[in-house]
Amino acid sequence: MKVSVYAPLLSRLLAGPRPYVGTLVGLVHDDRAHVLGCLLDHVEGGTPGVGSELLDALPGGLAPLGVAGDSDGRLEELALLSTVISLLPAGAQRAVVLSVSGGEGEGEPEPTAALFLYGDGELERTEFETFGAEQLRAQTVLLRLEGALSLRCKPGCEPLAEAFDRLKRTLDSPVTCFVQPEANRLLRAQDDESAPEGSCSELAGRRSAGRAQALFKLMLQRTGLVESRPAGGAPVIEYCRGRQQLVDLTLPISCVALVAAAAPLAQAAAALSEAALRQLAQLRTVITDVYREKERVVPAEPLHFNPEECGHYVTLVYSAASDDEKLESYRRNVHAALLLAADRPLFRRANRHRFDDQSPFLTNVHVGLSAPRQTAGQTALVRGTYVYHHYMQDRMDDSGWGCAYRSLQTLASWFQRQGYTGRAPPTHREIQQCLVDIGDKPASFVGSRQWIGSTEVSYCLQHLYGVESRILHVSSGADLGSKARALLRHFNDEGTPVMIGGGVLAHTLLGVAFDEASGEASFLVLDPHYTGAENLTTIQNKGWCGWKDGQFWDQTAYYNLCMPVRPRCV
How confident is the model over 347-357, as pLDDT tens digits? 999 999 988 77
Q: Which residues contact 115 (CB under 8 A, 6 or more apart)?
A: 3, 5, 96, 97, 98, 99, 125, 126, 127, 128
- Give the residue from 151, 128, 110 showing the smallest Cα distance to 32: 128
E-assigned strands of 325-381? Answer: 378-381
Instruction: Give strand pairing partners of 499.
Output: 508, 562
| pLDDT given at position 467 | 97
How far, in Å, CA of 96 to CA of 67, rounded? 6
Does the pLDDT value for residue 96 go beyond 60? yes
Q: Which residues contact 84 (CB under 8 A, 6 or more apart)?
A: 23, 47, 48, 50, 64, 65, 66, 67, 95
| pLDDT given at position 56 | 94
Identify the residue with better confidence: 3 or 72: 3
Q: Which tens digits make up the pLDDT trace of 266-316?
A: 899 999 999 999 999 999 999 999 999 999 999 999 999 999 888 899 999
Q: Are 556 and 476 in contact (CB under 8 A)?
A: yes
**H or E element in which residue 168 lies:** helix 157-171
The mean per-residue pLDDT over the stretch 64-80 comes to 65
Q: Which residues are catalytic?
A: 403, 527, 529
| pLDDT given at position 188 | 86
Phi, psi for residue 147 in degrees, rounded to 5: 170, -165
CATH number of 378-564: 3.90.70.130
Q: For residue 123, how far is the Cα from the chain centroid?
A: 35
Does the pLDDT value for residue 567 go beyond 60? yes
Does the pLDDT value for residue 47 go beyond 90? no
Distances (CA, A) of 517 to 374, 375, 520, 521, 551: 11, 12, 8, 11, 19
Please return the burial class of 246, using the count of CB atoms within 10 Å of its CB with bins 0-12, 13-18 and 19+.
exposed
Which stretch of 105-119, 148-162, 243-257 has the lowest confidence by average pLDDT? 105-119
How far, in Å, CA of 531 to CA of 147, rounded? 41
Does the pLDDT value for residue 76 go beyond 60? no
| pLDDT given at position 147 | 96
| pLDDT given at position 45 | 40
Q: Which tens digits make up the pLDDT trace of 126-148?
A: 999 999 999 999 999 999 999 99
Q: Which tens digits make up the pLDDT trace of 197-248?
A: 788 999 887 666 667 899 999 999 877 654 545 556 788 888 888 888 889 9
Distances (CA, A) of 466 to 412, 415, 416, 460: 11, 11, 12, 9
| pLDDT given at position 117 | 87
Q: Give the other-Cβ count within 10 Å of 146's Cβ.
A: 13
Q: Give the other-Cβ count within 10 Å of 454's Cβ.
A: 25
Sign of CA dihedral 491, 497, 499, 500: positive
How far, in Å, CA of 256 to CA of 7, rounded? 22
Does the pLDDT value for residue 8 go beyond 70? yes
| pLDDT given at position 393 | 96
- One fold for both 2-131 and 378-564? no
How far, in Å, CA of 420 to CA of 350, rounded? 8
Say what angle helices 428-437 and 403-417 make with each other, to 10 degrees. 90
Identify the residue with better confidence: 211 or 2: 2
| pLDDT given at position 174 | 87
| pLDDT given at position 79 | 46
Question: Quick check: helix, strand or coil at residue 352?
Answer: coil
The mean per-residue pLDDT over the stretch 437-444 comes to 97
What average pLDDT does the structure give for the chain?
89
Share of the chain above pLDDT 70, in %: 89
Domain boundaries, the chain: 2-131, 137-222+246-351, 378-564
DSSP state of 502: E
Q: Which residues contact 44 (CB under 8 A, 6 or more apart)?
A: 19, 21
Q: Which tens digits make up the pLDDT trace of 463-478?
A: 999 999 999 999 999 9
| pLDDT given at position 231 | 56
Report residue 159's pLDDT band, with 50, 70 and 90 as the boundaries.
very high
Per residue in 493-521, is it b (16+ CB within 10 Å) or e — as a string?
A: ebbbbbbbbbeebbbbbbbbbbbeeeebb
Instruction: Give strand pairing partners of 22.
Output: 40, 68
| pLDDT given at position 546 | 97
Its CATH class, for the domain covering 2-131, is: alpha beta
Phi, psi for residue 305 in degrees, rounded to 5: -130, 145
Report residue 253's pLDDT band, with 50, 70 and 90 as the boundaries.
very high
Report residue 15's pLDDT band, with 50, 70 and 90 as the boundaries.
confident
The mean per-residue pLDDT over the stretch 401-408 comes to 98
How far, in Å, CA of 428 to CA of 405, rounded? 6
Does the pLDDT value for residue 44 go beyond 50? no
Q: Which tens digits make up the pLDDT trace of 359-392?
A: 789 999 999 999 887 667 899 999 999 999 999 9
| pLDDT given at position 296 | 93
Report residue 398's pLDDT band, with 50, 70 and 90 as the boundaries.
very high
Does the pLDDT value for residue 407 go beyond 50? yes
Q: Give the other-Cβ count within 10 Å of 373's Cβ.
A: 10
Which stretch of 68-72, 165-169, 459-463, 516-520 has the lowest confidence by average pLDDT? 68-72
Please return the burial class of 411, using the count of CB atoms within 10 Å of its CB with bins 0-12, 13-18 and 19+.
buried
SS (H, E, C) 187-241: EECCCHHHCCCCEHHHHCCEEECCEEEEEEEEEECCCCCCCCCCCCCCCCCCCCC
Report residue 51's pLDDT band, with 50, 70 and 90 as the boundaries.
very low
Q: Give the other-Cβ count within 10 Å of 124's Cβ.
A: 12
Does the pLDDT value for residue 49 go beyond 70? no
Q: Are 155 and 247 in contact (CB under 8 A)?
A: yes
